Amino acid sequence: MTKLILNRRRFLGTAAATGAALASPAYLRRASAQSGGEVNIWTYNNFVPDAFKEQFEAETGIKVNVRLVDDQGKQFNLLAAEQPNPTVDIMTVAGHRFLQFIDSELLAPLDTDRLSNWNKINPTFSESDWSTINGNKWGAPILSGMEVLSYNTEYVTEEEALTWDTLFSDKYKGQTAYIIQDMMSIVMLMKGYDGNMVAYLDDPEKAAAIVEEAKQFLIEKKPLVRKYYDGGAEFQQMMVNQDIMLGHSWNGPAAALINDGFPLAMTIPREGSYGFVYTYNIANNAPNADNAYTFLDAILSSPEIGAAMTKASGFISTYKDATNHLTDLEKKSTSFPDEQLANLQFFRAEANEMKYGLVDPAVEAIKAA
């Protein structure tokens, strides 16, 4: 089963990459400046399509060095340790983490005038309120994701998966998994609170009480969970090995499994959930800033490249018309019914300092309990 999935994944990845390669020459041929040098990128697995990378390198002479990251906090620490002379040019920051990076002067404002393809991004993402801070744009939105309830369709019914309660039911004891940090926000939402904690900015005592309530809930439900995990690959592994039957996950890794033919489905449960947007950002004092802009403009150049990123990562492309280049199965795995989308709201950053000041110790307490 695993072998089949890996082969299929490799096949689909190659097909997607080929599609992107076929689509991009029109732009890259126009990129007359054979500037050379290099551009250093910190990003998640599959966020830079291989075929695009190869072609970009061949046509511009700029070598693309990708360093994989799996965590926003880790990326923040690495960059903070390297400033003021970072080795990275482009990073991948989630929109709701912008403030932390901006406050620490780790990001350079994005000069969208240097990106002729900026208008290829769906304005829902490029012009949304979270993307403009202090009058500046700080990143180019590339993929959007959400926190979903994923389930093995051979064991769990769709009806059961329409509520987060199923994740904490005795019926699936020892067959569930979730990321505690993300689950804290969702539990707050389940209990009718604002998981972004923006509503409690003026009432820190209430915020602390809400986090405590969510913490106690997750400690109480600890005997039911099989695994607290950290990354999408770990979730996929547990699902494929049938160690779990349902779990909280990001839609990207779940969609990748669906596209591989695994009997998996996902919902945005009725209690609600959170969405987020990954953006490519230019580091403050980036050593190859010009090359970084050339790379960004190239990767934004066509919806086919956006579709290739979706095919490889499972996350939803922010590019206009990218869905036109997906297969029916891929469209299905990256879309949700309207009534479920109505339950979705985006993570917000305004209360992050207060929120994570309370949530991080709570996460440690849940793990230790």
Partner 1 sequence: MAKETSERTFWGRLASWGPYHALMHLATASPRRQFLILAAFPILWILTQHLGPMLQMLRVSLTDAYPVAPGVEQHFTLENYARFFGDSIFWQPFFRTLIFAGVFTFCTLVLTYPVAYFLARHVSRKNQMLFLLLLLIPFWVGEIVRTYAIMILLGNTGAVNLALKTLGLIDRPIPFMYTSFSMGVGIVYLTALYMLLPLYSALEKLPKSMNEAAADLGAGAWTRFRRVSLPLTIEGISSGCTLVFLISTGFYATPVLLGGPSTTVFAETIAGFFHVAGDEWPTGAAFATIMFMAALIITTVFQKLMNSLRKGDKK
Number of CB atoms found within 10 A of residue 332's CB: 14
Number of residues forming the site for partner 1 (CB under 8 A): 34
Query: What are the CB-based long-range contacts (under 8 Å, 24+) for 193-201?
Result: 195/274, 196/274, 196/345, 196/347, 196/348, 196/350, 196/351, 196/355, 197/351, 197/354, 197/355, 197/358, 198/348, 198/350, 198/351, 200/351, 200/354, 201/350, 201/351, 201/354
Q: How far is the CB of 223 from partner 1 (least distance, A)?
A: 8
What distance in Å separates the CA atoms of residue 55 and residue 355, rounded to the nearest whole number? 43
Can you tell me which of 242, 263, 324, 331 binds partner 1, judged by CB under 8 A?
A: 242
Q: Counting contacts by CB under 8 A, is residue 216 touching partner 1?
A: no
Sequence-separated (6 or more) residues with CB below 8 Å from residue 235: 150, 177, 229, 247, 249, 253, 254
Q: Counting contacts by CB under 8 A, is residue 226 touching partner 1?
A: yes
Binding mask 314-343 for partner 1 (x = CB under 8 A): ------------------------------
Can you tell me which of 18, 237, 327, 345 binds partner 1, judged by CB under 8 A?
A: 237
Per CB under 8 A, contacts with partner 1 among 349-368 are 356, 360-361, 363-365, 367-368
50 versus 260: smaller Cβ distance to partner 1:
260
97 versus 311: smaller Cβ distance to partner 1:
97
| Phi-psi group of 138: left, alpha or beta (phi > 0 → left; psi -120 to 50 → alpha; rest → beta) | alpha
Q: Counting contacts by CB under 8 A, is residue 220 touching partner 1?
A: no
Q: How far is the CB of 92 from partner 1 (least distance, A)?
A: 15
Q: How far is the CB of 369 from partner 1 (least distance, A)?
A: 7
Residue 333: HSE in the Cβ half-sphere, 13 Å Cα cutoff: 28
The β-bridge partners of 90 are 41, 282
67: Cα separation from own chain's centroid: 16
Per CB under 8 A, contacts with partner 1 among 153-212 are 174, 181
238 versus 305: smaller Cβ distance to partner 1:
238
Whether the bond into 86 is cis, omega within 30 of 0: no
What distance in Å separates the CA atoms of residue 202 and residue 189, rounded to the nearest whole number? 19
Q: Counting contacts by CB under 8 A, is residue 225 touching partner 1?
A: yes
Binding mask 53-72 for partner 1 (x = CB under 8 A): ------------------x-
Q: Using CB under 8 A, list all residues that contact partner 1.
A: 1, 71, 73-74, 76-77, 80-81, 83, 100, 104-105, 174, 181, 222, 225-228, 230, 234, 237, 241-243, 356, 360-361, 363-365, 367-369
